[in-house]
Amino acid sequence: MGNPPRVIQYVVAPCAFGHVLAAATECGVCAVALGDDPAALIDDLARTFSDATLERDESLPDDWMKTLLDYLHGERMSLDLPLEVAATPFQQIVWNALRAIPYGGTQTYQQVAERIGRPRAARAVARACASNPVALIIPCHRVVRSNGLLGGYRWGIERKRALIAHEAAHVELCAS
């Protein structure tokens, strides 16, 4: 007998950045995605987790979606949600370093590479950012190129620009 299919609950909600999809197992958040089309977000989730049973559930465990929406509305500056994401050891190191970048701040791919003790791994850091399945929780939007350009962003470069500006504005509000 094989293992029973994994169940993933998900919800999609409108937000200032389009729509946000959050998906979770009973152990933690496994996907957070941003986009303009809720159906496309759900289709991508289904492709990513083709071996799982997906269930739409407007009340993810422990108000995880409310936590994400509060973050997107500037009502919270951190996202300490439990995660259930597959990662290589290198990705895990990079993602932990990204979670340490302060809200409202940015670092370059090179700075992240140096912080993790791999100064020649800036491109590998960029690949780890690109494979991040949980937008916002692992804040890959806070990583930019050394030349000041934003670089890529899985959920759109304009969305990355808006997230960085949004966080910076809320940091300024809190400081005044």
- Dump pLDDT digits (tens) for 78-99: 898 999 999 999 999 999 999 9
Task: Tell me how far apart the alpha carbons of residues 148 and 136 are, in angstroms, rounded to a whole number.
Answer: 21
Domain span including residue 54 = 6-72
Q: Are residues 122 and 147 in the same domain?
A: yes
Structural domains of the chain, count: 2
Q: Which among 21, 38, 72 is the end of a domain?
A: 72
Residue 163 lies in a domain: yes
Indicate which CATH number applies to the domain containing 167.
Answer: 1.10.10.10
Residue 82 lies in a domain: no
**Portion of the chain with pLDDT greater than 90, in percent:** 72
- Dump pLDDT digits (tens) for 17-40: 999 999 999 889 999 999 999 999
Q: How far is CA 156 from the centre of its chain?
A: 13
Annotated active-site residue 140? The verdict is yes
Residue 78 lies in a domain: no
Single out the catalytic residue among 15, 27, 30, 140.
140
Q: Which two tokens stand for residue 85?
A: 């994401």
Counting other chains too, the contacts that 148-152 makes at CB distance below 8 Å and 24 or more residues apart are 151/109, 151/126, 152/126
Q: Are residues 163 and 107 in the same domain?
A: yes
